[in-house]
Amino acid sequence: MANKNHSMKRQIFTLVVVIFLCISCKYQTKENSAALVNDTSKIYKGPIIDMHLHAFTDGHPLLGMTHPPTLRGETYKGVASGSEQKEKTLASLQKNNIVKAVVTSGHLWFDDAPETILIGDANKGVDELRKQHGEGNLQVIAEVAPFYNGILADDASILPYFELAEELNIPIGFHILPGGPNYGIHLMPEFLGGMRTYNANPLQLENVLVKYPNVKVYIMHGAWPYVEDLKALMYAHPNVYIDVSVVNWILPQEEFNAYLKPLINAGFGNRIMFGSDQMTWPQVIGVGIESINNVDFLTLEQKEAIFYDNAAQFLGLSDTEIKKHKSR
Protein backbone atom coordinates (compact mmCIF):
# COMPACT_ATOMS: atom_id res chain seq x y z
CA MET A 1 0.00 0.00 0.00
CA ALA A 2 2.80 2.30 1.00
CA ASN A 3 4.51 1.37 -2.21
CA LYS A 4 1.37 1.93 -4.25
CA ASN A 5 0.91 5.27 -2.55
CA HIS A 6 4.48 6.16 -3.32
CA SER A 7 4.12 5.25 -6.99
CA MET A 8 0.87 7.23 -7.22
CA LYS A 9 2.58 10.24 -5.68
CA ARG A 10 5.33 9.78 -8.20
CA GLN A 11 2.84 9.64 -11.06
CA ILE A 12 1.11 12.76 -9.82
CA PHE A 13 4.45 14.49 -9.47
CA THR A 14 5.40 13.51 -13.04
CA LEU A 15 2.01 14.72 -14.28
CA VAL A 16 2.46 18.04 -12.50
CA VAL A 17 5.93 18.42 -13.98
CA VAL A 18 4.64 17.60 -17.46
CA ILE A 19 1.76 20.05 -17.12
CA PHE A 20 4.16 22.70 -15.85
CA LEU A 21 6.52 22.08 -18.75
CA CYS A 22 3.64 22.25 -21.20
CA ILE A 23 2.41 25.50 -19.75
CA SER A 24 5.84 27.05 -19.68
CA CYS A 25 6.47 25.76 -23.18
CA LYS A 26 3.22 27.32 -24.33
CA TYR A 27 4.03 30.46 -22.41
CA GLN A 28 7.41 30.54 -24.09
CA THR A 29 5.82 30.34 -27.54
CA LYS A 30 3.41 33.03 -26.50
CA GLU A 31 6.22 35.12 -25.11
CA ASN A 32 8.17 34.74 -28.35
CA SER A 33 5.23 35.83 -30.40
CA ALA A 34 4.63 38.58 -27.84
CA ALA A 35 8.23 39.61 -28.45
CA LEU A 36 6.87 39.93 -31.96
CA VAL A 37 4.51 42.55 -30.50
CA ASN A 38 0.90 41.37 -30.44
CA ASP A 39 -0.35 44.51 -28.77
CA THR A 40 -2.05 46.29 -31.67
CA SER A 41 -1.81 49.62 -29.87
CA LYS A 42 1.99 49.37 -30.32
CA ILE A 43 1.80 48.74 -34.05
CA TYR A 44 2.34 51.81 -36.18
CA LYS A 45 -0.30 52.30 -38.85
CA GLY A 46 0.43 55.78 -40.17
CA PRO A 47 2.15 56.91 -43.36
CA ILE A 48 5.61 55.54 -44.16
CA ILE A 49 8.55 56.86 -46.14
CA ASP A 50 10.82 54.25 -47.70
CA MET A 51 14.28 55.74 -48.21
CA HIS A 52 15.69 52.85 -50.20
CA LEU A 53 14.15 51.13 -53.21
CA HIS A 54 15.37 50.06 -56.63
CA ALA A 55 13.83 49.88 -60.09
CA PHE A 56 15.57 47.36 -62.33
CA THR A 57 15.48 46.83 -66.04
CA ASP A 58 15.39 43.33 -67.50
CA GLY A 59 18.79 41.70 -67.46
CA HIS A 60 19.73 42.90 -63.94
CA PRO A 61 21.78 40.10 -62.36
CA LEU A 62 19.56 39.87 -59.27
CA LEU A 63 16.33 39.32 -61.19
CA GLY A 64 14.99 35.80 -60.80
CA MET A 65 17.34 35.03 -57.93
CA THR A 66 16.06 33.28 -54.82
CA HIS A 67 17.56 34.97 -51.77
CA PRO A 68 19.62 32.38 -49.89
CA PRO A 69 18.65 31.88 -46.22
CA THR A 70 19.04 35.20 -44.44
CA LEU A 71 20.59 35.30 -40.98
CA ARG A 72 17.05 34.87 -39.67
CA GLY A 73 16.67 31.81 -41.89
CA GLU A 74 14.17 33.09 -44.46
CA THR A 75 14.47 32.62 -48.20
CA TYR A 76 12.73 34.85 -50.72
CA LYS A 77 11.81 34.03 -54.29
CA GLY A 78 12.86 36.82 -56.64
CA VAL A 79 10.71 38.46 -59.27
CA ALA A 80 11.48 37.35 -62.81
CA SER A 81 11.40 40.66 -64.66
CA GLY A 82 11.55 44.41 -64.33
CA SER A 83 7.82 44.72 -64.91
CA GLU A 84 7.02 42.17 -62.20
CA GLN A 85 9.33 44.04 -59.83
CA LYS A 86 7.48 47.28 -60.55
CA GLU A 87 4.04 45.77 -60.23
CA LYS A 88 4.77 43.99 -56.93
CA THR A 89 6.75 46.86 -55.41
CA LEU A 90 4.10 49.47 -56.20
CA ALA A 91 1.40 47.16 -54.84
CA SER A 92 3.38 46.80 -51.62
CA LEU A 93 3.80 50.57 -51.30
CA GLN A 94 0.08 50.99 -51.56
CA LYS A 95 -0.71 48.16 -49.17
CA ASN A 96 1.70 49.45 -46.54
CA ASN A 97 0.72 53.12 -46.76
CA ILE A 98 4.15 54.11 -48.10
CA VAL A 99 3.52 57.65 -49.25
CA LYS A 100 7.02 58.56 -50.41
CA ALA A 101 9.80 56.35 -51.70
CA VAL A 102 13.32 57.09 -52.83
CA VAL A 103 13.78 54.83 -55.85
CA THR A 104 17.18 54.43 -57.47
CA SER A 105 16.50 54.59 -61.24
CA GLY A 106 13.05 55.83 -60.22
CA HIS A 107 12.59 57.48 -63.63
CA LEU A 108 11.61 54.00 -64.86
CA TRP A 109 8.51 54.00 -62.67
CA PHE A 110 7.87 57.68 -62.10
CA ASP A 111 4.83 57.96 -64.35
CA ASP A 112 3.17 55.08 -62.49
CA ALA A 113 3.36 56.80 -59.09
CA PRO A 114 4.41 60.44 -59.52
CA GLU A 115 3.19 61.51 -56.08
CA THR A 116 5.13 58.78 -54.32
CA ILE A 117 8.41 58.39 -56.16
CA LEU A 118 11.47 60.49 -55.49
CA ILE A 119 14.02 59.75 -58.15
CA GLY A 120 17.41 58.59 -56.97
CA ASP A 121 20.38 58.15 -59.26
CA ALA A 122 24.13 57.92 -58.94
CA ASN A 123 25.61 55.68 -61.59
CA LYS A 124 26.65 58.42 -63.98
CA GLY A 125 28.89 61.43 -64.13
CA VAL A 126 28.38 64.45 -61.91
CA ASP A 127 27.59 66.77 -64.81
CA GLU A 128 24.92 64.44 -66.05
CA LEU A 129 23.37 64.28 -62.58
CA ARG A 130 23.40 68.07 -62.30
CA LYS A 131 21.60 68.31 -65.64
CA GLN A 132 19.09 65.65 -64.57
CA HIS A 133 18.39 67.63 -61.40
CA GLY A 134 17.91 70.79 -63.45
CA GLU A 135 15.28 68.99 -65.49
CA GLY A 136 13.44 67.99 -62.33
CA ASN A 137 14.34 64.31 -62.58
CA LEU A 138 16.66 63.88 -59.60
CA GLN A 139 15.71 64.36 -55.95
CA VAL A 140 18.31 62.23 -54.19
CA ILE A 141 21.83 61.16 -55.17
CA ALA A 142 21.62 57.44 -54.41
CA GLU A 143 22.65 54.73 -54.24
CA VAL A 144 26.31 55.71 -54.15
CA ALA A 145 28.07 52.36 -53.80
CA PRO A 146 31.78 52.47 -54.63
CA PHE A 147 32.01 49.88 -51.85
CA TYR A 148 31.31 47.22 -54.48
CA ASN A 149 34.53 48.19 -56.22
CA GLY A 150 36.67 48.53 -53.12
CA ILE A 151 36.62 52.34 -53.25
CA LEU A 152 36.10 54.48 -50.14
CA ALA A 153 33.85 57.52 -49.65
CA ASP A 154 36.73 59.98 -49.47
CA ASP A 155 38.36 58.80 -52.68
CA ALA A 156 39.01 61.61 -55.17
CA SER A 157 36.64 59.96 -57.65
CA ILE A 158 33.73 59.98 -55.16
CA LEU A 159 34.11 63.40 -53.49
CA PRO A 160 32.47 65.27 -56.43
CA TYR A 161 29.18 63.45 -55.70
CA PHE A 162 29.13 64.80 -52.16
CA GLU A 163 30.11 68.22 -53.46
CA LEU A 164 27.20 68.09 -55.90
CA ALA A 165 24.75 67.04 -53.19
CA GLU A 166 25.85 69.99 -51.09
CA GLU A 167 25.66 72.35 -54.06
CA LEU A 168 22.14 71.20 -55.03
CA ASN A 169 21.10 70.89 -51.39
CA ILE A 170 19.71 67.40 -51.91
CA PRO A 171 20.37 64.25 -49.87
CA ILE A 172 22.99 61.71 -50.81
CA GLY A 173 22.71 58.04 -49.83
CA PHE A 174 25.92 56.09 -49.32
CA HIS A 175 25.91 52.29 -49.28
CA ILE A 176 28.04 50.17 -46.94
CA LEU A 177 27.43 46.81 -45.30
CA PRO A 178 25.34 44.75 -45.06
CA GLY A 179 23.51 45.22 -48.36
CA GLY A 180 22.50 41.81 -49.50
CA PRO A 181 22.52 38.94 -49.90
CA ASN A 182 24.67 37.63 -47.08
CA TYR A 183 27.79 35.90 -48.47
CA GLY A 184 27.24 37.81 -51.73
CA ILE A 185 30.97 38.01 -52.39
CA HIS A 186 31.03 34.25 -52.83
CA LEU A 187 27.56 33.74 -54.29
CA MET A 188 27.94 36.24 -57.11
CA PRO A 189 31.66 36.89 -57.46
CA GLU A 190 31.31 38.51 -60.87
CA PHE A 191 28.75 41.02 -59.51
CA LEU A 192 29.62 41.44 -55.82
CA GLY A 193 33.15 40.05 -55.63
CA GLY A 194 34.84 43.43 -55.32
CA MET A 195 33.49 44.31 -51.91
CA ARG A 196 35.58 43.88 -48.79
CA THR A 197 34.49 43.93 -45.20
CA TYR A 198 37.49 46.09 -44.27
CA ASN A 199 36.02 48.84 -46.48
CA ALA A 200 32.68 48.86 -44.66
CA ASN A 201 33.37 51.12 -41.70
CA PRO A 202 31.23 54.30 -41.63
CA LEU A 203 34.20 56.34 -40.39
CA GLN A 204 35.32 56.51 -44.02
CA LEU A 205 32.75 59.35 -44.27
CA GLU A 206 34.45 61.56 -41.73
CA ASN A 207 36.77 63.43 -44.11
CA VAL A 208 33.82 63.95 -46.43
CA LEU A 209 31.76 65.45 -43.61
CA VAL A 210 34.55 67.82 -42.70
CA LYS A 211 35.11 68.87 -46.30
CA TYR A 212 31.38 69.34 -47.01
CA PRO A 213 29.90 70.33 -43.65
CA ASN A 214 26.45 71.08 -45.08
CA VAL A 215 25.98 67.87 -47.03
CA LYS A 216 22.92 65.81 -46.07
CA VAL A 217 24.17 62.23 -45.94
CA TYR A 218 22.37 59.06 -45.08
CA ILE A 219 24.19 55.81 -44.60
CA MET A 220 22.27 53.13 -46.43
CA HIS A 221 21.90 49.92 -44.41
CA GLY A 222 22.62 51.78 -41.20
CA ALA A 223 26.35 51.03 -40.88
CA TRP A 224 25.67 47.71 -39.21
CA PRO A 225 27.61 46.20 -37.46
CA TYR A 226 29.78 49.24 -36.62
CA VAL A 227 27.37 50.68 -34.07
CA GLU A 228 30.02 52.21 -31.83
CA ASP A 229 31.73 53.95 -34.74
CA LEU A 230 28.35 55.06 -36.05
CA LYS A 231 27.55 56.60 -32.67
CA ALA A 232 30.86 58.48 -32.77
CA LEU A 233 30.14 59.72 -36.30
CA MET A 234 26.60 60.80 -35.44
CA TYR A 235 27.85 62.51 -32.31
CA ALA A 236 30.44 64.48 -34.24
CA HIS A 237 28.33 65.32 -37.30
CA PRO A 238 24.68 66.36 -36.94
CA ASN A 239 23.90 65.86 -40.64
CA VAL A 240 24.47 62.09 -40.67
CA TYR A 241 21.29 60.02 -40.93
CA ILE A 242 20.85 56.32 -41.55
CA ASP A 243 18.34 54.06 -43.24
CA VAL A 244 17.78 50.64 -41.73
CA SER A 245 17.16 48.79 -44.99
CA VAL A 246 18.26 45.17 -45.21
CA VAL A 247 19.24 45.09 -41.51
CA ASN A 248 15.49 45.06 -40.84
CA TRP A 249 14.93 41.86 -42.80
CA ILE A 250 18.27 40.04 -43.01
CA LEU A 251 19.25 40.07 -39.32
CA PRO A 252 17.50 38.04 -36.62
CA GLN A 253 15.06 40.24 -34.71
CA GLU A 254 17.21 40.11 -31.58
CA GLU A 255 20.26 41.37 -33.41
CA PHE A 256 18.20 44.12 -35.06
CA ASN A 257 16.96 45.15 -31.62
CA ALA A 258 20.48 45.03 -30.19
CA TYR A 259 21.72 47.24 -33.02
CA LEU A 260 18.94 49.83 -32.62
CA LYS A 261 19.02 50.02 -28.85
CA PRO A 262 22.36 51.84 -28.40
CA LEU A 263 21.40 54.36 -31.10
CA ILE A 264 18.11 55.09 -29.35
CA ASN A 265 19.85 55.21 -25.96
CA ALA A 266 22.40 57.67 -27.31
CA GLY A 267 19.64 60.02 -28.45
CA PHE A 268 19.84 59.43 -32.21
CA GLY A 269 16.25 58.24 -32.58
CA ASN A 270 15.54 61.35 -34.67
CA ARG A 271 18.03 60.38 -37.39
CA ILE A 272 17.01 56.79 -38.08
CA MET A 273 14.84 56.29 -41.17
CA PHE A 274 12.92 53.37 -42.56
CA GLY A 275 14.17 51.76 -45.75
CA SER A 276 13.65 48.36 -47.31
CA ASP A 277 16.00 47.94 -50.29
CA GLN A 278 13.66 45.45 -51.84
CA MET A 279 15.89 44.74 -54.83
CA THR A 280 14.30 41.71 -56.49
CA TRP A 281 12.27 40.68 -53.42
CA PRO A 282 9.33 43.09 -52.92
CA GLN A 283 8.02 40.88 -50.12
CA VAL A 284 10.79 42.15 -47.80
CA ILE A 285 9.16 45.59 -47.63
CA GLY A 286 6.47 44.14 -45.37
CA VAL A 287 9.03 42.15 -43.41
CA GLY A 288 11.10 45.27 -42.74
CA ILE A 289 8.04 47.15 -41.50
CA GLU A 290 7.12 44.27 -39.24
CA SER A 291 10.61 44.13 -37.76
CA ILE A 292 10.42 47.74 -36.63
CA ASN A 293 6.97 47.20 -35.20
CA ASN A 294 8.41 44.20 -33.37
CA VAL A 295 11.12 46.17 -31.58
CA ASP A 296 9.64 45.81 -28.11
CA PHE A 297 11.39 48.79 -26.49
CA LEU A 298 10.28 51.37 -29.08
CA THR A 299 7.31 53.56 -28.23
CA LEU A 300 4.73 54.31 -30.87
CA GLU A 301 6.17 57.83 -31.15
CA GLN A 302 9.67 56.45 -31.73
CA LYS A 303 8.28 54.15 -34.42
CA GLU A 304 6.51 57.08 -36.05
CA ALA A 305 9.81 58.98 -36.11
CA ILE A 306 11.57 56.07 -37.83
CA PHE A 307 8.76 55.30 -40.25
CA TYR A 308 7.94 58.87 -41.26
CA ASP A 309 8.94 61.96 -39.29
CA ASN A 310 12.73 61.72 -39.58
CA ALA A 311 12.64 61.17 -43.33
CA ALA A 312 10.05 63.92 -43.83
CA GLN A 313 12.37 66.30 -42.06
CA PHE A 314 15.49 64.99 -43.85
CA LEU A 315 13.83 65.30 -47.26
CA GLY A 316 12.45 68.72 -46.40
CA LEU A 317 8.79 67.88 -47.07
CA SER A 318 6.49 70.86 -46.67
CA ASP A 319 4.10 71.18 -43.73
CA THR A 320 1.20 70.95 -46.17
CA GLU A 321 2.46 67.69 -47.58
CA ILE A 322 3.13 66.23 -44.13
CA LYS A 323 -0.36 67.20 -43.01
CA LYS A 324 -1.82 65.59 -46.11
CA HIS A 325 0.08 62.35 -45.47
CA LYS A 326 -0.87 62.24 -41.81
CA SER A 327 -4.54 62.85 -42.46
CA ARG A 328 -4.85 59.87 -44.78
Q: Which residues bind Zn ion (CB under 5 A)?
A: 175, 179, 220
| Shorter beta-carbon distance to Zn ion: residue 37 or 53 | 53
CA 81 to chain centre: 23
Residue nearest to Zn ion (CB): 175
CB of 105 to Zn ion, least distance (A): 13
CB closer to Zn ion out of 170 and 247: 247
Nearest approach in angstroms of CB 244 to Zn ion is: 12
Query: Residue 200 CB, nearest distance to Zn ion (Å)?
Result: 12
Q: Kindly tell me which of 47 and 178 has the beta carbon lying closer to Zn ion.
A: 178
C-beta of 175 vs 216, nearer to Zn ion: 175
- Least Å distance, CB 177 to Zn ion, is 9
**Angle, helix 253-265 to helix 227-236, in steps of 10 degrees:** 30
Residue 185 burial by Cβ neighbours in a 10 Å radius (0-12, 13-18, 19+): middle
Nearer of residues 47 and 288 to Zn ion, judged by Cβ:
288
CB of residue 321 to Zn ion, shortest distance in Å: 26
Q: Cα(first)–Cα(last) distance of the chain, in Å?
A: 75
Cα distance between residue 180 and residue 203, in whole Å: 21
Bridge partner list, 76: 67
Burial string for 95-110 (b: 16+ CB within 10 Å, else e) reads: ebbbbbbbbbbbebbb
